[in-house]
Amino acid sequence: MDADYIRTYWGKEKREADINFDGVVDAKDMQFIKQHYLNQNPDVQKAPKAKEIYKGKRLEDILTELNIQ
C-alpha cells in the first residue's frame, strides 16, 4: 500500500515517496494517496486490484497514526 510506504518515510527526504517533489515526505504527499485511494491505473493492462487492507492496516489507520484527518 502506498500509504504505508509514505508512513515509513514520513518527514524524511525520500525521493521515491515524495510524490510532489518538494523535498520531504509529508501530508501533501498523503493527500494524493487519499484522492486516489482504491483506484486502479486505467492505462495498465491487468493492473493489480487495489487493497483495502495492507499488513493489517487500512488507510484510515495510517492517517490516524500520522494525525491526519
Q: What is the pTM of this model?
A: 0.84
Q: How many residues does the chain have?
A: 69
In the chain, count of helices (H) and strands (E)? 3, 0
Domain ranges of the chain: 2-37+49-65
CATH class, range 2-37+49-65? mainly alpha
Share of the chain above pLDDT 70, in %: 100
Which ranges in 12-58 belong to alpha helices (H)?
27-35
Q: For 45-60, what is each residue's pLDDT tens digit? A: 988 888 999 999 999 9
